[in-house]
């Protein structure tokens, strides 16, 4: 915000113009007095003579003519490609033979939202939502990263060495088929609060109905210790979440179950996005030498995520900032660099 009485604000410009137009000061004397160029002093005096005090207001810096502007026909082609095929700026520029910096400016001028804000299937703007208080809705989901063999997996040793962790078999047609890794998977069961993004994650042996229901009971107790009462849970249509055991557990805990529409993972997007963060910052962040080593790092990472890691949806604050009774809440909150 510009201070109104600052030099060469509207007040300063008016004083400069009056010295030249009314008091008869030479342009160079007025320019030296107000520490501007003589051309600036001349421009302010001319505007004062034409428009009076109103001529001292800021004017748009947009040029009167833009002969190098992209033709309207080309702009319409850019917008048509974005709307019909949902292409990014680089691909549109390559398709039309334009500079990559031209396309974003045109899309912004026509009010086209970024691709990240659009639904890939329909092209409609994704409707963002957030529940009003913690516990009103909790997202649950399961992530299955492959276990790390002793000595390290392919991320640590390379893909060629990582192939040794697979068991090759020959099909009746004579083709070589690689089965799933012998070491199996880790089943990450997660419950993420919609309002605070507070997350509870456990590594379990499978994704059966009994395991999922038992995890929900423990997540309910964990949230209750933080002062959060889970009212509803939303999940995909996996068999464990559609089972009678899941329904019985929800009824016993006074939780209303809810499911996403088939082939619509966006409805459970907060859990999906959390798993992306979890795998990127914990599961695949380091070339761990064993599954035991990776699992030992989960609890410290969860504490960092809930208490210290800034979340973009929370204005850079961690999930603990929206929960008043979370264990460790009184520790100093530090934003992750």
Task: Give per-residue pLDDT as tens, 74-105.
Answer: 999 999 998 888 888 999 999 999 998 999 99
Q: Which tens digit of pLDDT belongs to each residue from 294-314?
A: 999 999 999 999 999 999 888
pLDDT confidence of residue 126: 65
- The structure tokens listed for 207 are 């994704």
Average pLDDT, the chain: 85
pLDDT confidence of residue 218: 96
- Segment 61-85 shows an average pLDDT of 89
Report the top-level CATH class of 138-148+186-322: alpha beta
pLDDT confidence of residue 175: 62
> Is residue 15 within 8 Å of 5, Cβ to Cβ?
no
Asked whether the whole model's pTM tops 0.85, one would answer no
Cα 290 from Cα 302, distance rounded (Å): 19
pLDDT at 135 over 70: yes
Sequence-distant (6+) residues with CB within 8 A of 266 are 119, 126
Cα 312 from Cα 261, distance rounded (Å): 27
Q: Locate the domains of the chain by residue range.
A: 10-56, 72-117, 138-148+186-322
pLDDT at 328 over 70: no
């Amino acid at each position: 915000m510009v201070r109104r009485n600052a030099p060469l604000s509207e007040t300063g410009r008016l004083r400069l113009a009056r010295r030249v137009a009314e008091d008869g000061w030479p342009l160079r004397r007025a320019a030296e007095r107000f520490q501007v160029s003589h051309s600036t002093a001349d421009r302010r005096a001319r505007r004062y003579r034409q428009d009076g005090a109103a001529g001292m207001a800021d004017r748009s810096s947009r040029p009167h003519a833009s002969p190098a502007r992209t033709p309207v026909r080309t702009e319409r082609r850019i917008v048509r490609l974005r709307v019909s095929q949902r292409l990014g700026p680089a691909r549109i520029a390559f398709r039309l033979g334009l500079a990559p910096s031209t396309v974003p400016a045109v899309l912004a001028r026509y009010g086209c939202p970024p691709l990240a804000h659009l639904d890939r299937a329909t092209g409609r703007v994704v409707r963002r939502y957030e529940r009003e208080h913690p516990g009103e809705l909790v997202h649950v989901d399961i992530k299955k990263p492959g276990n790390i063999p002793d000595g390290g997996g392919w991320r640590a040793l390379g893909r060629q060495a990582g192939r040794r962790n697979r068991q090759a078999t020959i099909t009746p047609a004579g083709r070589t088929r690689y089965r799933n890794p012998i070491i199996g998977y880790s089943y990450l069961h997660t419950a993420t609060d919609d309002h605070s993004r507070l997350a509870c994650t456990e590594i379990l042996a499978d994704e059966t109905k009994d395991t999922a229901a038992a995890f929900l009971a423990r997540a309910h107790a964990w949230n209750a210790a933080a002062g959060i009462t889970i009212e509803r849970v939303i999940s995909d249509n996996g068999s464990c979440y559609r089972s009678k055991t899941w329904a019985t557990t929800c009824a016993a805990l006074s939780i209303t179950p809810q499911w996403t529409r088939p082939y619509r993972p966006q409805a459970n997007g907060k859990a999906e996005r959390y798993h992306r963060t979890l795998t990127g910052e914990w599961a695949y962040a380091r070339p761990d030498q064993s599954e035991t080593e990776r699992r030992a790092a989960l609890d410290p990472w969860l504490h960092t995520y809930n208490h210290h890691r800034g979340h973009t949806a929370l204005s850079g604050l961690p999930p603990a900032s929206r929960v008043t009774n979370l264990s460790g809440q009184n520790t100093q909150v530090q934003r992750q660099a």
